[in-house]
Amino acid sequence: MSKSNHFASTKLILMSRLPILMYHNVCADLSSAKNLTIAVETLEQHFKFLADNDYKTFHFSELEALKKNKSLPKKSAIITFDDVYVNQLEFAYPLLEKYGLKASFFIPFAYVNGMDLWNTNLENIMSVEQLKSLNSEVVELGLHSFKHKKYNELSNEEVIQDFESCQQFIYEHKLEVHNVLAYPYGKFPRKNPEKFTFFNTLNNFNIAYGLRIGNRVNQFPFKNNYQIQRIDIKGEDTLAKFKLKLRYGKLRLF
């Protein structure tokens, strides 16, 4: 391949767009939908739109091959759900199967088979058995810390302890969890030397991708695998707003 053709190929793949959608709670009725809680009716509209418009959804474990082969489809997206709530199993999982979509579910391990004690709503979190019941072709499991703490408020020693606790839980319960970490609240150290130390710790624990919020559409391949941005989908979002977020991220006028 000539130098000019190699440059053109590289430029093409760098301009690939990869929106990563972030969901949390799913509820049964529209009257309860607000902020981080989305109604199942609305969620189905989102998934139906993706399927009807030929969007290809991916797991993070597939990205390295896509990067190597420079084969990311034009209409691509990643769907993520934080906190592995039971309501995600009840409402979101059947819709993923119905529309042939993939998603990543992120686990706060200390609260498995318990409740989200960091919140006031106290939603139930899946058990180990429920997590194992998920079809890995549909749902890929990832990490959401051990105790749902903000990483920018922890010392490096506490971060290491957090990851070690996650590893121990995964090993003891024989869970298949991929090396993708969604930062609780999207928080991580933003300034050096803490930022450098944090990223180095992620690398030492073989974390391939770290997810913040940011609300922008990513370019793929990612500029920094530990600062990947997700788009926050809210319960109040109309389908029209969802379409805009999918294409542009969170616009200032929202």
Domain edges within the chain: 19-248
Distances (CA, A) of 134 to 70, 105, 138, 181, 189: 30, 10, 8, 19, 33
Say whether pLDDT at 107 is over 70.
yes
pTM of the model: 0.92
Angle at 168 between CA 224 and CA 24, to 5 degrees: 55
- Cis-peptide, bond into residue 94, ω within 30° of zero: no
The whole-angstrom separation of Cα 151 and Cα 233 is: 22
Query: CATH for 19-248?
Result: 3.20.20.370
- Token pair 């906190």 is found at 83
- Residue 116: pLDDT band (50, 70, 90) is very high
Residue pLDDT, tens place only, 24-68: 999 999 999 999 999 999 999 999 999 999 999 999 999 999 988
The predicted model gives 76-94 an average pLDDT of 98
- Residue 11: pLDDT band (50, 70, 90) is very low
The predicted model gives 149-156 an average pLDDT of 98
Say whether pLDDT at 214 is over 50.
yes
Backbone conformation region of residue 84, classed left if phi is above 0, alpha if psi is from -120 to 50, else beta: left
Instruction: List the one residue out of 90, 99, 98, 48 whose CA is nearest residue 239.
Output: 48
The whole-angstrom separation of Cα 229 and Cα 18 is: 10
